[in-house]
Chains A and B, each alone.
Chain A
């Protein structure tokens, strides 16, 4: 829930000040598979955290990144779906996680006010 609240805060702070009554339609996130985030739970919390904000109707677009480890012995990179955290080339276990820990907001998509005005007249 804390993560969802933080996403809403960052998204609101990213709205350019020159857009009046901006409405955010989408938040694009990058979330690694080795994080404490479960996409469905995050969406559920986001819907609660975003109510009564410019993100109330926004959707979360989550790009999941795989877990990639780099071997400290032979330098090979391995993409892993599940444990063990071991090198696929030499079997070594001295590995560093090089991808999969991401929890980033990439961008927000703001509704175009002119288009809405046209829709409003129809």
Chain B
């Protein structure tokens, strides 16, 4: 048996395309946020409200990843932002968005004038954390119905993200929800991560999140 040295990163091809995406986004002065969560956390609802609230000030565009259907793209298109849906079943049913898939979607998107590109990743707390797409920041959405130990079960996701949105806080009166525990569990993974407690349904808590996002977008251009 002959051993042949390889020493390559398994995801080097993805990292190369992600770097190309990042360069393109920089040239366009486009701030890119990669939004990740488990299915059903309310990602799309959070983005609908976010885009409606900041759209007047910050022109935005959206890429939505799902395995099947264009339901989320249809919802987000109503915000007025240009939207491209990616269905990963055309790419083998991937449970995440890879950099080349995002690059292809960007080529189909009218980005003229846009300053913010929102990428709604496929609902999954595991694999999307591993794939750089060339984004500026990564955002994890966690809903209060999901269980306080999610950050401990998916440490990679909470470690690679720059901001956490704790959604559906309007439901707290109906739940046995331990707010201190979920905050402590996020802090155990990343002590300094900003956490915004919000409700996409009632808009509670949205103002500080929107201010934070606007500052980030403006700091790039």
A residues sitting closer than 8 Å to B (CB atoms) are 1-3, 6-7, 10-11, 14-16, 25-26, 28-29, 34-37, 82-86, 93-95, 97, 103-112
| Count of chain B residues near A, Cβ 8 A | 32
B192 pairs with A109, CB closer than 8 A: no
Q: Which of B145-196 contact A (CB under 8 A)?
A: 151-152, 155-156, 159, 185, 187-192
Contact partners of B1 in chain A: CB under 8 A = 25-26, 109-112
Contact partners of A97 in chain B: CB under 8 A = 159
What are the nearest 3 A-B pairs in CB distance? A93-B191, A84-B188, A36-B130
**Complex Cα distance A108/B94, Å?**
26
Q: How many A-B residue pairs have CB under 8 A?
A: 100
B190 pairs with A108, CB closer than 8 A: no
Chain B at the A interface: mostly helix, strand, loop or mixed?
A: mixed
1/0 contact trace for B117-136 toward A, CB 8 Å? Answer: 00000000011011000000
Nearest residue in A to B154 (C-beta to C-beta)?
A: A36
B130 pairs with A35, CB closer than 8 A: yes
B187 pairs with A93, CB closer than 8 A: yes
B residues sitting closer than 8 Å to A (CB atoms) are 1-11, 13, 92, 94, 96, 98, 126-127, 129-130, 151-152, 155-156, 159, 185, 187-192
Contact partners of A2 in chain B: CB under 8 A = 92, 94, 96, 98, 127
A105 pairs with B8, CB closer than 8 A: yes
Chain A at the B interface: mostly helix, strand, loop or mixed?
A: mixed
Known: A35-B130, A94-B191. A6 touches B4 (CB 8 A): no
Interface contacts beyond A85-B191, A107-B7: sample of 13 additional A-B pairs, CB < 8 Å, sorted by A: A3-B10, A10-B6, A36-B127, A36-B129, A82-B152, A83-B185, A83-B189, A84-B191, A93-B187, A103-B11, A104-B9, A105-B9, A110-B4
Contact partners of A107 in chain B: CB under 8 A = 3-7
Give, as a whole number of angstroms, the nearest-CB distance from B155 to chain A.
6
B159 pairs with A34, CB closer than 8 A: yes
B190 pairs with A85, CB closer than 8 A: yes
Give the contacting residue for A83; candidates B4, B8, B152; CB below 8 A.
Answer: B152
Contact partners of A10 in chain B: CB under 8 A = 6, 8, 10
What are 11 of the A-B contact pairs (CB < 8 Å)? A1-B94, A7-B10, A35-B156, A37-B130, A83-B189, A85-B155, A85-B189, A94-B192, A106-B5, A109-B3, A110-B1
Give, as a whole number of angstroms, the nearest-CB distance from A76 to chain B.
16
Known: A35-B156, A104-B7. A109 touches B2 (CB 8 A): yes
Contact partners of A1 in chain B: CB under 8 A = 92, 94
**Complex Cα distance A8/B20, Å?**
24
Task: Give the one of B5, B6, B189, B191 with max A CB within 10 A.
Answer: B6
Task: Give the one of B4, B130, B152, B187 with max A CB within 10 A.
Answer: B4
**Complex Cα distance A108/B7, Å?**
10
Nearest residue in B to A3 (C-beta to C-beta)?
A: B10
Nearest residue in A to B5 (C-beta to C-beta)?
A: A107
